Structure 1
């Protein structure tokens, strides 16, 4: 029997109870009950059982090095679309932390008193908030309090105890305004973008059997029109290894053309002049026979021409990671020169080719 005293209250436990000065370097999850409030429950350690692509290893080491140097808490935001590797990175960082003797605490739901409970853990630890934008939702009615706001003081880094906070989110615009651009609260913000051509090729060569390497070029060409995350690539590789063609694979997988995509379009003339169309919403997978028309603009931002694209002539340029249409696949209908005098500048030029480049989310980083 063990008797534990808290103030004037004694609780009786059996001999299996163990008392620690600090939490052992294990993984825990925050649980809640109306009777006990918040408490920790042992959670299986987070493992990384697959190859890590990109700069994940270096970023994880950088974060832990910074945490070791600081005399206060450190916050890290991991943002990007679903299936981009945020959770893999979080697991990698947590695994490395446990290897350094730092326990990991997972917060997977918003419960009463969570901020005070975490602040009561007065030792170095990692606190992981997975899918924070959903778990602590700010998009509530005015009668509801902002669930993220209650944690702001905790994230300030001046509370008792030194903690490494990791927040993953799919949509950064669902985060509280006082979390973004506040390096005092969250020192790092690691963005996870769609894999580039080299990363797609590396991934598929790792996952595919050699006899199916010939289909990699089809996947890469498809990725120039559609954003493919690692979840998509994993499923595609699985199907190709079964001997299915890429066309059959895309037709059967849960990868659907649910909306128009945004592209940057440039029409090049042989003398170097160009027409542009930025962030053009179009569907490159229209039914056969449907016309694809693109309005093109000149250097002064004036409408110059309507260009009809023969979709059967669209080719993929691996070197530039863009779809290319040569001049014989373009029909150019210039606007009336009486309406736009600059049109005459282009009408007498010979078109060379058009590029269609996938336009992703605008770059959130400053270029210096």
Structure 2
């Protein structure tokens, strides 16, 4: 069936081939709208654009990859973007939307859930369909809707890509644990799953050089080193750049006042190196930047035994190269028999996990 589109007053409505006004889907950006009286329609909105903002982490190459694969495919293509808030998923969506319009693909944004949404989307001709914060708009049932229904599974036939109309689907996800198991690890439905990580020191450094040209290079370096100790997203960096671009600003002073406190625990890899060269390592979740006078305890294990180590965050040593160490004389150790171990480690280091060299993982 060929669909016909009628545009009046910024609204685009979809009809069957009994009515003809537009012979094809008008190029533009639209939001899906629903009322109980009129049903589904498309409201024309401002185009999603990147503007003059510089893009970091080689993301333009990822956009090229998506559209190269879409051009080569004879079926619909799905792209999932996952990661915490503030680390660039929305900016990447804007890049994808810009490229889609360059290729004469209309852009459709789905931001609300209503019965019949799948059938409506299935009626659209070739386009880019965006689901921002997919797991929030369409709960999977585990933490979502009150009746426990999985609102994501209704899209499985659509995402299978077997429709007679080829489309590009792009969804953003903050918490991958809240996405249906029928979607995750299913490349037949989502060919790409692009994971957004926190920017690493090199990317932080370049961002601040670009966005805070008047900042002292030593202060930029302090931020880059701090990013190895705590996760900084682009919202954080934007605020830091604004402050550092002011005269005589010190990062050590502004970090106390900005609303960027690490309220969520981060994952650290703790490595204890012993005199015989052996290394015991574990990954633990901790918040090192709140209640620094309260002790933290973690367990280190090897094949035969365990050691429980306790330290106070205020005693940590933050080295100039970004390393984090627990002073051995400040470390309390007991073994699994509640006794002090015969051999103490020579060093105990904490390494922030989940931070690649660039802020865009795949």
> Could you say whether these structures have the same fold, taking a TM-score greater than 0.5 normalized by the shorter chain as the test?
yes
Secondary structure, counterpart of 2:237 in structure 1 = helix
Q: After TM superposition, give the deviation of residue 294 of structure 1 in Å.
A: 4.8
Correspondence list, 1:199-214, <5 A = 199-214=203-218
Specify which structure has the bigger relative contact order, considering alpha-carbon pairs within 8 angstroms and separated by 6 or more residues: 2
1:181-229 deviation line (CA, Å, top 9, x unaligned): 1111111100001111111111111111244322122212322232111
Correspondence list, 1:343-362, <5 A = 343-344=341-342, 346=343, 351=346, 353-360=347-354
1:322 corresponds to 2:323: yes
Q: After TM superposition, give the deviation of residue 19 of structure 1 in Å.
A: 2.0
Segments of structure 2 that go 5 or more residues without pairing to the other structure are 13-19, 357-362
Q: After TM superposition, give the deviation of residue 239 of structure 1 in Å.
A: 1.5
Secondary structure, counterpart of 1:330 in structure 2 = helix
Secondary structure, counterpart of 2:319 in structure 1 = strand
The size of the alignment, in residue pairs, is: 338
1:27 aligns to what?
A: 29
Residue 178 to residue 286, structure 1, CA distance change in 2 (3 Å): closer
1:268 corresponds to 2:273: yes
Q: Is the 8 A contact 1:104 1:125 kept in 2?
A: yes
1:300 aligns to what?
A: 303
Q: Is the 8 A contact 1:74 1:164 kept in 2?
A: yes
| Cα distance in structure 1, aligned partners of 2:88 and 2:96 | 12
Segments of structure 1 that go 5 or more residues without pairing to the other structure are 1-5, 363-368
Q: Is the 8 A contact 2:300 2:309 kept in 1?
A: no
1:250 corresponds to 2:255: yes
Q: After TM superposition, give the deviation of residue 26 of structure 1 in Å.
A: 1.5
| Cα distance in structure 2, aligned partners of 1:305 and 1:138 | 38
1:194 aligns to what?
A: 198
1:162 corresponds to 2:163: no
Q: Is the 8 A contact 2:263 2:287 kept in 1?
A: no
1:178 corresponds to 2:179: no
**Aligned partner of 2:133 among 113, 128, 131:** 131
**Aligned partner of 1:103 among 102, 106, 130:** 106
My pick for the range that moved more, 245-254 or 228-237, is 245-254
Q: Which has the larger radius of gyration?
A: 1
Correspondence list, 1:14-163, <5 A = 19-49=21-51, 50-121=53-124, 123-139=125-141, 140-141=144-145, 143=147, 145-163=149-167
Q: After TM superposition, give the deviation of residue 332 of structure 1 in Å.
A: 5.1
Secondary structure, counterpart of 2:270 in structure 1 = strand
